[in-house]
Amino acid sequence: MKIFKYILNTLLALLVLIGVLVVFSFIPFPGNYKIFTVQSGSMSPAIHTGSLVFVKPLADYNVGDVITRRTKDPKVTITHRIVSKEEIDSPQFGEAGGKIAFETKGDANDSSDMEKFTAEGIVGKVFLIIPLLGYPVAYAKTTPGIILLIIIPAVIIIYDEIQKIKKEIAKKIDYKKRVEKRFTPLNSAEGAPAEQDSTGGKKTQ
């Protein structure tokens, strides 16, 4: 029973930790990391489908870096490896030209993505990969997922801790009562000697 409870508490703590990481990743401050779930096998075997990737923006990126970049669809991102970095002069990247353009490719793909982009289109470089954890995190971003994976486990953990505190308080109260009972002095009726009357007999109050 204790082993089962330990496993359950560990899982609940893990779920709460995932929830905290997800929530923290949404805080909009410069340099904050982002979390993405890999939904294809284009980066296998380095990154498998369902993996969770942590991405952090850098000042510069180089060939070989695995990055997450934006696409024309604001809801879609691509996590691939940089295979090309060059300075080009093209109206596509501004009137002044001379921009650094990148190109990416999935490790499992035969060809590159055939799309050049600048550093402004990069969300960040992948610095941590956790296999399979992307599935619960993706679910945690939905309303039912927030309730099931974050709120409910948090309530269970808080309730369990409250029960532990109540038990400890009850133990201390019980111990205090036993100590007081043990050291309470005898009252006068029980401890005082009986008085003798004038006839020599004993009388009590």
What is the domain-level CATH number for residue 41? 2.10.109.10
Q: Give pLDDT, residue 43.
A: 96
> Taking residues 32-60, what's their average pLDDT?
92
Q: Judge whether 174 lies within some domain.
A: yes
What is d(CA 127, CA 125) in angstroms, rounded to the nearest whole number? Answer: 6
The boundaries of the domain holding residue 130 are: 33-136
Q: Judge whether 68 lies within some domain.
A: yes
Range from 17-21, 28-32, 187-191 carrying the lowest mean pLDDT: 187-191
Q: Judge whether 193 lies within some domain.
A: no
- Please say if the pLDDT value at position 205 is more than 70: no
Q: Are residues 104 and 14 in the same domain?
A: no
Q: Give pLDDT, residue 65.
A: 97
Q: Are residues 128 and 37 in the same domain?
A: yes
> Taking residues 66-86, what's their average pLDDT?
94
Q: Are residues 126 and 151 in the same domain?
A: no
**Residue 150 near residue 15 (C-beta atoms within 8 A):** yes
- Please say if the pLDDT value at position 91 is more than 70: no
Tokens at residue 105, please?
Answer: 């490719």
Q: DSSP secondary-structure letter at 184? A: P
**Higher-pLDDT residue of 159, 149:** 159
The H-or-E segment that residue 88 falls in is strand 77-88
Q: Judge whether 70 lies within some domain.
A: yes
Mean of all residue pLDDT scores within the chain: 81
- Please say if the pLDDT value at position 86 is more than 70: yes
Q: Give pLDDT, residue 199.
A: 54
Q: Are residues 3 and 95 in the same domain?
A: no
Q: Are residues 15 and 85 in the same domain?
A: no
- Please say if the pLDDT value at position 198 is more than 60: no
**Residue 50 near residue 37 (C-beta atoms within 8 A):** yes
Show which of 110, 136, 162 is a domain's final residue: 136
Q: Are residues 131 and 146 in the same domain?
A: no
Query: In which band, very low, low, confident or very high, does the pLDDT at 101 lie, cut at 50, 70 and 90?
Result: very high
> Taking residues 81-88, what's their average pLDDT?
92
In a 3-state reduction of DSSP, which class is residue 101?
strand
Q: Are residues 7 and 64 in the same domain?
A: no
Per-residue exposure over 163-187, b if at least 16 CB sit within 10 Å of its own CB, e if not: eeeeeeeeeeeeeeeeeeeeeeeee
Query: In which band, very low, low, confident or very high, does the pLDDT at 143 lie, cut at 50, 70 and 90?
Result: confident
Number of structural domains (the chain) is: 2
Question: Alpha-carbon dihedral of residues 130, 136, 139, 140, nearest 10 degrees?
Answer: -90
Q: Are residues 79 and 128 in the same domain?
A: yes
Query: In which band, very low, low, confident or very high, does the pLDDT at 189 lie, cut at 50, 70 and 90?
Result: very low
**Cis preceding-peptide flag for 74 (omega within 30 of 0):** no
Q: Give pLDDT, residue 188.
A: 47
Q: Are residues 62 and 130 in the same domain?
A: yes
Q: Give pLDDT, residue 203.
A: 46
- Please say if the pLDDT value at position 139 is more than 90: no
Q: Are residues 44 and 124 in the same domain?
A: yes
